[in-house]
Structure 1
């Protein structure tokens, strides 16, 4: 029996989502995270592909934190037969009760909505990726464990979790197997993060997996007080325009940080007593978990900021729709990258208004609607509707829950010496390449590895990792911006561009030329198919 330790990257390689690291030692197999892919439609399509592993051979999952790009495929594991333990911190388990259930409901609702669309008339119905019941089954498998306490998720493995300073309950995972020490960073928080102390962990590893989300950018160090001054200016500017301030916000952690700062600004009378609507049932439930763990959190100073009278938690769809008639309010809604949830509804009703403001406060992955808007699109397509972008588009970087380049490099240096390899994961191409160049100076003994999805590596003590299997290189060009992003860009501008053509006859000719191009591709495909059949007949 092969007794080497191997690592397969099933996600978060060349992209910032879909985190799933598979470790195998002998007959034992564990996953560190099992997250959903988010971003381009090609990338999201990976969520419904068959798992790259036999899930009945997986002994356990070690979960670093509750964000859906790290936990979101756990319900699918449960639906397809996995029934092993999911090891995580207690706050992560508490959050998963709501995070996974909400994800299941979204999948069911989105699937039902797509099946009702007129452009899908006559097609076979789509099945949801998983259901709320699957999500609750996965949550029931959680096995909470204290930070820095060793546990054995499978024979031959021992693991302990370390504070990662990213969100409530987040952890880095230290693994030992076959005499080899490995550290998986999970997502790392920045210095001066609200609620949580800075990331922690031991030094001296054979191999380290480090997230690289912001590996290509360094932020100016900002205290919480300075960050509030920036937010104050943005709120005042938005209210001066006369419309709503719409903040796409992740339901977990980002919403609670914003509420902390907004309430402090209200208490100090730094902003007028503006109504603040938290239009995300998931954010409301996540906030209840923060209340439950308030004694463990920094910066609250014993006060319950989440119950301020200007805060209004919106639960029902009817309440959310009534916000269409509101003006001069702050509306926080998920999702943070505008890929789903109630934020899309609010964007439809606010993006076209010049008096409105959209304030981005978090990372926008390539291919997401949030990234498209932030990159300056004049029109976007939301839920089948073309929407003009006339609102003021603003951004604050100081709310990031991720460490920046300098903080990541400091974390790497604190893990040294790294005697084998440093794997750079959970980043886009530019961030990964920059980190690969700079990290060598902070871990001079380590071999730099920027893996692709699907690669398998042998991990030995004191030696550079050895690649055993190549990855899915065909995904590289579609990770950030696939053909469906290009299609949306083309369609949203098509009517306007046709309108700029001089006369109706010229417009008809332009459309005829487009049709000719599409027909040529169809004919080419049919020709290849016919040639293939004839070739097969000759062989027989």
Structure 2
């Protein structure tokens, strides 16, 4: 048995590990390099293996740095099964086609530059059709189920609290009469995060492959209650100034946490008048992801979120919530009078509708720009 690290080695993104064992080859994740990691030795579309030889993929969660090269894998000949949780399969159903659209837009932009420079045209890494075909290979499982990946290889997905449906994967590989247990952590969530259960624990392993994104530091002792109070204070100040409160946010995960926390603040009356302030979600991907979060509630929510569901319906159903589905609806937000809370993507401000909200609000002294997620080096969000 051999384990090969094909991505997320000496960098954060592009997670991809290949397990070679008696009779088969299995990938754990097949992610896209993002940000500064794109400039590694391998290009974003290179594989360190032949996709046709891969028997199956085990997917820890739906974030693109773990799933984003699956359509390319299929495009280049993979036709095995992609095993993951039900929620991850659903989120992948919106995130991979969205990624494909970005690939087409990037190729179109590059070709305009190449045309002026007399350089050859480029093709997108993959298309929406490739993404849709990829979804046909998904085989959803539930947390705790032990499934046969391939003869001699069994897997179990365990709740790891990072994203809806995220999992740490236990693998039992039988080879030459010996069973070896491996654990792949995926991305590990933090305790007490909103909506999702805390990461579960796993007993025993022969080998553990664990993420090390924050392995060189200790998180501060800020609790979720502290963060909730910080948000309340910013909202109070922004509402008092009378301008818009613009929040760049990742469409999947962070947007839902924001809506959930805003609803908690309303229920506690922690921000007087908050229920009268329009809350816009201006992200088609974020809107669709929220619908998936609502559908998957009973299997994935923690006790507090389930209690809110029981008491007041969806944790994201605000009386003042408005969604902008079309580009025209997005532009009209800028003509809304008074104070508005605008949650829009992309979270690092490098693309998407958040750009025109920044354009219309950065110069205004009464506006607030609130960052609620990590801003990578080189991004507009980091510069701001």
TM-score, scaled relative to structure 2: 0.88
- Tell me which residue corresponds to 1:283: 286
Q: Does 1:32 pair with 2:28?
A: yes
In structure 1, C-alpha distance between the alignment counterparts of 2:377 and 2:23, rounded to whole Å = 38
Task: Report how far residue 370 of structure 1 moved.
Answer: 2.7
RMSD: 2.3
- Tell me which residue corresponds to 1:304: 314
Equivalent pair of 2:159/2:168 in contact (CA under 8 Å): yes
**Larger relative contact order, structure 1 or 2 (CA cutoff 8 Å, min sep 6):** 1
Equivalent pair of 2:114/2:120 in contact (CA under 8 Å): no
SS in structure 2 opposite 1:307? coil
Q: Where do 1:499-518 residues align within 5 Å?
A: none
In structure 1, C-alpha distance between the alignment counterparts of 2:375 and 2:287, rounded to whole Å = 22
Match of 1:332 among 325, 343, 348: 343
Structure 1 unaligned residues grouped into runs of 5+: 374-540
In structure 1, C-alpha distance between the alignment counterparts of 2:107 and 2:28, rounded to whole Å = 29
Q: Does 1:70 pair with 2:80?
A: no
Q: Does 1:134 pair with 2:130?
A: yes
- Residues 314 and 15 (structure 1 numbering): CA distance in 2 closer, same or farther, change over 3 Å? same
- Residues 354 and 167 (structure 1 numbering): CA distance in 2 closer, same or farther, change over 3 Å? same
Per-residue CA shift, 1:121-145, capped at 9, x if unaligned? Answer: 6443332111111111111111011
In structure 2, C-alpha distance between the alignment counterparts of 1:322 and 1:118, rounded to whole Å = 35
SS in structure 1 opposite 2:146? coil
- Tell me which residue corresponds to 2:254: 254
- Tell me which residue corresponds to 1:89: 85
Q: Where do 1:378-389 residues align within 5 Å?
A: none
SS in structure 2 opposite 1:166? coil
SS in structure 2 opposite 1:108? helix
**Largest Rg, 1 or 2:** 1
- Residues 18 and 339 (structure 1 numbering): CA distance in 2 closer, same or farther, change over 3 Å? farther
- Residues 237 and 116 (structure 1 numbering): CA distance in 2 closer, same or farther, change over 3 Å? farther
- Residues 23 and 106 (structure 1 numbering): CA distance in 2 closer, same or farther, change over 3 Å? same
In structure 1, C-alpha distance between the alignment counterparts of 2:105 and 2:200, rounded to whole Å = 40
Task: Report how far residue 281 of structure 1 moved.
Answer: 0.4
- Tell me which residue corresponds to 2:162: 166
In structure 1, C-alpha distance between the alignment counterparts of 2:87 and 2:193, rounded to whole Å = 17
Q: Where do 1:204-283 residues align within 5 Å?
A: 204-215=204-215, 216-223=217-224, 225-271=225-271, 272=273, 273-283=276-286
Match of 2:356 among 345, 356, 359: 345
In structure 1, C-alpha distance between the alignment counterparts of 2:119 and 2:362, rounded to whole Å = 33
- Residues 228 and 358 (structure 1 numbering): CA distance in 2 closer, same or farther, change over 3 Å? same
- Residues 308 and 370 (structure 1 numbering): CA distance in 2 closer, same or farther, change over 3 Å? same
- Residues 283 and 151 (structure 1 numbering): CA distance in 2 closer, same or farther, change over 3 Å? same
Structure 2 unaligned residues grouped into runs of 5+: none
In structure 2, C-alpha distance between the alignment counterparts of 1:105 and 1:346, rounded to whole Å = 22
In structure 2, C-alpha distance between the alignment counterparts of 1:147 and 1:47, rounded to whole Å = 34
Q: Does 1:53 pair with 2:49?
A: yes
Equivalent pair of 1:76/1:129 in contact (CA under 8 Å): yes
Match of 2:16 among 12, 20, 39: 20
SS in structure 2 opposite 1:319? helix
- Residues 264 and 324 (structure 1 numbering): CA distance in 2 closer, same or farther, change over 3 Å? same
In structure 1, C-alpha distance between the alignment counterparts of 2:11 and 2:350, rounded to whole Å = 16
- Residues 116 and 32 (structure 1 numbering): CA distance in 2 closer, same or farther, change over 3 Å? same
In structure 2, C-alpha distance between the alignment counterparts of 1:236 and 1:110, rounded to whole Å = 39
Residues 195-204 or 266-275, more deviating: 266-275
Match of 2:366 among 329, 344, 355: 355
In structure 2, C-alpha distance between the alignment counterparts of 1:146 and 1:268, rounded to whole Å = 35
Equivalent pair of 2:248/2:371 in contact (CA under 8 Å): yes
In structure 2, C-alpha distance between the alignment counterparts of 1:48 and 1:212, rounded to whole Å = 21
- Residues 368 and 43 (structure 1 numbering): CA distance in 2 closer, same or farther, change over 3 Å? farther
Equivalent pair of 1:185/1:210 in contact (CA under 8 Å): yes
